Amino acid sequence: MLHHMVQYSRADFDATFAALSDVTRRGVLERLGRADASITELAERFHMTLTGIKKHVGVLERAGLVSTQKVGRVRTCTLGQRRLEEEAAWIERYRQLWNARFNELDTIIEELKRKEKVDGRKKRG
């Protein structure tokens, strides 16, 4: 199963997960999911300097999660074209792997509990 997970582009995944690892960048994505916003609006919303928010937007832009367009003196940000389908599929595979492992662990625990009950009855009897 692990071998099949390597098929995705490491560079794309690294950029995406690096972009999503920061709470401010996740907040920017959530905000842009509601409506486009200027760099100034985002800076105000996240109580940051223009330079600070530009850096965050740059990381999101390199990951393909945000697009920007400058019209006059205003740079407007929109959600990018990346839909995160490959990343979601990659995460889903790991979720399934962990669910299977936890289900196996649950089975082992239940068997141990049953055995403990049986052993307890034998000692009393």
Round to whole Å and give the CA distance between 95 and 89. Answer: 10
21 exposure class (CB count in 10 Å sphere: 0-12, 13-18, 19+): exposed
**pTM for this predicted structure:** 0.72
Residues 22-64: tens digit of each pLDDT:
999 999 999 999 999 999 999 999 999 999 999 999 999 999 9
Measure the CA–CA gap between 108 and 11, rounded to whole angstroms.
Answer: 39
CA distance 11 to 63: 9
Q: How far separated are the first and last CA of the chain, in Å rounded?
A: 48
Q: 21 is written with which tokens?
A: 């690892």
